[in-house]
Amino acid sequence: MSVESGRIDAVRQFNRFYTRQIGLLHEGLLNSPFSLTESRVLYELAHRASPTASELGKDLGIDAGYLSRILQRFKKQELAASKPAPSDARQSLLSLTTRGRTEAATLNDRSQQEVAAILNGLPAADQARLVAAMRTIEALLTGKSCERKYLLRDRQPGDMGWIVYLHGAIYAREYGWSDEFEAFVAGIAAEFINNYDPEWERCWIAELDGRVVGSVVVVKESKKVAKLRLLIVDPDARGLGIGTRLVDECIQFARQTGYRRMTLWTNSILHAARAIYEKAGFERTGREKRHSFGQDLTFETWTLNL
């Protein structure tokens, strides 16, 4: 399969940019006397339990002769040591000396500081985009999907703005809904913030790679009835079980708070959300057809007895 020259040029351009960005063109990496390859060997020796030279060479893709010269230099500088392997005297087990571990720790600290400086120059949202893009590159080039872990947390200032944005952007893109829906969601968000009752109400925010990717809220309809609102999951975070987890958190909170019933309002075209509600035990208790948000829609009420 041939590759467009423009794509080849783009990858080469990125490589040139990135090597400048992280200082690979400097004589010593991170203001140290070590090259990139030497630094990587130090790192591996510091984080492995007595590897052999052949293991290092294979995993790092380093020519055996080049690696041998690096290891000899490390031994001469009293950074590394070796001893025969008990199971095979032809193999040597490698390790760092106290001095070598000190040098490896210094390199690690400098690397942490350098990357932190790069990230600190970006807004939090852009930091998350950068990390996600890097994970995508790694997954594509290795053929392995990187494990993605999300967290649920309480609402913080600024979160509701992201939730309104996600609703407006996703529903416009996927269902063609007008910005009237975004205004509608903004009204719900404002009402929640202005009338928030922590004893009876709760908001959960889903975060992935430092970025808000989902939400749900429970609001008080009466002392016996709770209402689930603002369930949303960013398309980039789907498939991780976030929607199911958010609904489960709502149900658990409602039961612990003492509500007897939970209701929600959804739409017939929202198949994924409806499947989550049905699996959680909700039953459809009402339907109403009307023209809203620029579309002919069927609104549904679902109820769960707690």
pLDDT digits (tens, 9 = 90+) for 277-299: 999 999 999 999 999 999 999 99
Question: Mean pLDDT over residues 74-85, rounded?
Answer: 87
Q: Tell me: do 283 and 232 sit in the same domain.
A: yes
Q: Tell me: do 105 and 178 sit in the same domain.
A: no
Q: Could you tell me the pLDDT band of residue 303, with boundaries at 50, 70 and 90?
A: very high
The closest of 301, 49, 65 to 57, measured between CA atoms, is 65
Residue ranges making up the domain that contains 288: 150-305
- Indicate if the pLDDT at residue 273 is higher than 80: yes
Q: Could you tell me the pLDDT band of residue 147, with boundaries at 50, 70 and 90?
A: low
Q: Tell me: do 106 and 162 sit in the same domain.
A: no
**Number of domains making up the chain:** 2
The closest of 253, 244, 248, 306 to 275, measured between CA atoms, is 244
Residue 227 belongs to some domain of the structure: yes
Most confident of 32-46, 189-203, 231-245: 189-203
- Whole-number mean pLDDT of the chain? 85
**180 close to 172: Cβ distance less than 8 angstroms:** no
- Indicate if the pLDDT at residue 143 is higher than 70: yes
Residue 249 belongs to some domain of the structure: yes
CATH number for the domain harbouring residue 295? 3.40.630.30
For 150-167, what is each residue's pLDDT tens digit?
A: 888 988 888 999 999 999
Question: Mean pLDDT over residues 188-203, rounded?
Answer: 94
Environment class of 215 (CB within 10 Å of its CB; exposed 0-12, middle 13-18, buried 19+): buried
Judged by average pLDDT, the poorest of 64-78, 102-116, 169-183, 196-210 is 102-116
Q: What is the pLDDT of residue 260?
A: 95
Q: Could you tell me the pLDDT band of residue 183, with boundaries at 50, 70 and 90?
A: very high
Q: What is the pLDDT of residue 27?
A: 44
The amino acid occupying position 212 is V
Residue 128 belongs to some domain of the structure: no
Q: Tell me: do 186 and 229 sit in the same domain.
A: yes
Q: What is the pLDDT of residue 30?
A: 53
- Indicate if the pLDDT at residue 210 is higher than 50: yes
Q: Tell me: do 165 and 301 sit in the same domain.
A: yes
Question: Mean pLDDT over residues 89-107, rounded?
Answer: 84
Q: What six digits make up the tokens of 287?
A: 């339907």
- Quick one: DSSP state of residue 108? H
Residue 54 belongs to some domain of the structure: yes
The residues near 288 (Cβ < 8 Å, ≥ 6 apart) are: 298, 299, 300
Q: Of 121, 136, 160, which residue is a domain's last?
A: 121
Q: What are phi and psi of 190, to 5 degrees?
A: -65, -40
pTM summary value: 0.57
Q: Helices in 158-233 by DSSP H: which ranges? A: 159-175, 179-194
**38 close to 80: Cβ distance less than 8 angstroms:** no
The residues near 166 (Cβ < 8 Å, ≥ 6 apart) are: 212, 213, 214, 215, 232, 234
